[in-house]
């Protein structure tokens, strides 16, 4: 019964407020607030290029809050530790199972802490690397090699990993790419225009995929 009520809540608030995105504020000490211009810039880019009408004001939501069900896309980033308690895990799981989407973009240094938390969401599943043929790489823009590399750290290849629920991609974990850095305003990292465009194009692909699935 509780799951039915949560699903109804998600459907209701999604209809009323389907065009606002949120950033996840989590505990553990990691800098969840990093890349403050990233999501606002991505929203502007999507509104201008893929026909969305997303509210330019980005919300902040906590993993245990019922407010998370208002947002079709929640962005999470940072460099450090992440801790979700049992109530937060249950709430996040219900959010994802009810139609929500969590995009975690490792801003370098998050992966080692995040893996222990992700296993709590769907204990019977492991993160699966998405093949370059997945639709998330081929809708608005084409990325025939998969996730693009935006910033170098360890020289490792970029990877887009996912968790699925009933065949639907519900969680995307992008690592060794730093998409969010590429979304930030030009003066923040002084990335060349072609690098920023590559990051924003991939971001637009993600948003288009989320809004279509």
- Give which of 80, 129, 126, 76 is closest to 105, Cα–Cα: 76
Q: Which residue has the higher pLDDT, 3 or 60?
A: 60
pLDDT digit string (tens) for 131-159?
999 999 999 999 999 999 998 777 789 99
b/e for 3-25, b at 16 or more Cβ within 10 A?
eeebeeebeebbeeeeebbbbbe
Tell me the C-alpha distance between 114 and 101, whole Å. 17
Tell me the C-alpha distance between 164 and 125, whole Å. 8
Q: Which residue has the higher pLDDT, 110 or 175?
A: 175
Top-ranked range on mean pLDDT: pick from 11-20, 65-74, 145-154, 182-191: 65-74
pLDDT digit string (tens) for 163-209?
999 999 999 999 999 899 999 988 887 788 999 999 999 999 999 99
Task: Give the pLDDT of residue 83.
Answer: 94
């Amino acid at each position: 019964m509780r799951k039915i009520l949560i699903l109804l809540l998600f459907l209701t608030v999604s209809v009323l407020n389907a065009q606002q995105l949120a950033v996840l504020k989590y505990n553990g000490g990691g800098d969840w607030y990093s890349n403050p211009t990233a999501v606002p810039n991505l929203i502007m880019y999507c509104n201008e290029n893929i026909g969305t009408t997303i509210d330019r004001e980005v919300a902040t939501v906590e993993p245990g809050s019922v407010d998370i069900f208002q947002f079709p896309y929640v962005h999470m980033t940072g460099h450090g530790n992440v801790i979700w308690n049992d109530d937060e895990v249950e709430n996040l799981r219900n959010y994802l199972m009810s139609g929500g989407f969590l995009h975690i973009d490792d801003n370098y240094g998050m992966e080692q802490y995040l893996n222990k938390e992700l296993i709590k969401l769907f204990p019977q599943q492991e993160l699966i690397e998405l093949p370059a043929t997945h639709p998330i790489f081929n809708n608005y823009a084409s990325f025939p090699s998969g996730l693009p590399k935006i910033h170098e750290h360890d020289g490792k290849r970029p990877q887009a990993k996912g968790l699925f629920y009933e065949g639907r991609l519900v969680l995307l974990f992008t690592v060794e790419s730093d998409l969010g850095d590429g979304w930030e305003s030009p003066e923040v990292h002084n990335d060349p225009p072609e690098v920023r465009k590559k990051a924003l194009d991939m971001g637009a692909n993600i948003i288009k995929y989320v809004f279509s699935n």
